[in-house]
Amino acid sequence: MSDRLPGQHSLPLLRPYWPAPPGVFAACSLRTGGVSTGPYASLNLGDHVGDEPAAVAANRLRYAQALGSHPVYMKQVHGSQVAALQGNTPDGIEADACIATAPGIACTIMVADCLPMLFATAEGKAVAAAHAGWRGLAGQDGRGVVEAVWESFWPLAGRTRDEAARATLAWLGPCIGPTAFEVGPEVKQAFGAHDRGTADLFRPHAAGKWLADLPGLARRRLQALGLTRVYGNDGSAGWCTVSDASRFFSHRRDRVSGRLAASVWLG
């Protein structure tokens, strides 16, 4: 179902279509509705990409008002560190995933081609978000950001691990699509070294390159953990950040780019 979002400021938002329990809300920003100009036009939420600080602050205020919640922005480093957010957690904490159990704190991921992943327990006891670029998703020795956030998240469900996996909801937001994500052989090797089945998610491309299916790789990681209630990005064209300049920022497409945000919170 589509979330009904509280808020004071009207913004065009992508609202997840998933069966979230009462009290769980989620949204993903689009690039319109803000005050930034040039390559950052207009709702750039990234304060690290060269945009005017005053414009970013104004955009973040609009986004927070639209959510009716307090988004916490992390310093994302393509790793697997998980932060447990509290009401006083400052922006800029270094992590690529976060968890919240208190209302009014929005787990927030910034992206401009990487995949934002949102999670909620079936009873609405906890929410989480993860930043999944290929490095964070592949991780080290088969353990990446998805495995890291799941290890911290499932005990909060009040169920056994298997029961939590069957009940947890996951939503995948917009990212670079499988027709645009050109990668080198090292990326294919990083996934294939621990899961030969990922070979089907890479298609040969020009000059020894490959086209990778990032949402497909994320879904495979979720499936391996037993999470099957997965919604959102299925790799189809409408989810591709590169191909839709009117709705999405894309670093791969523009090089100088703003940032989108995807958030999930308890109301």
For 81-140, the pLDDT digits (tens) are: 999 999 999 999 999 999 999 999 999 999 999 999 999 999 999 999 999 999 999 999
Do 64 and 50 meet the contact criterion of CB atoms below 8 Å apart? no
pLDDT at residue 5 in the model: 39
Numbers of helices and strands, H then E, in the chain: 7, 14
**Range 20-266 classified under CATH 3.60.21.10:** no
Average pLDDT of adjacent 10-residue blocks, the chain of 267 residues = 45 96 98 98 98 98 97 98 97 98 98 98 97 98 97 97 98 98 98 97 95 98 98 98 98 98 98
What global pTM score does this model have? 0.96
pLDDT of residue 8: 46
Q: Are 103 and 154 in contact (CB under 8 A)?
A: no
pLDDT of residue 4: 39
pLDDT at 9: 55
| AA identity, residue 118 | L
Q: Which pLDDT score is estimated for 11? A: 94
What whole-number distance in Å separates Cα of residue 175 and Cα of residue 98?
A: 19
Decide: 167 and 178 in contact? Cβ < 8 Å: no
- The answer to whether 41 and 31 have CB atoms below 8 angstroms apart is yes
Residue 128: predicted pLDDT: 99
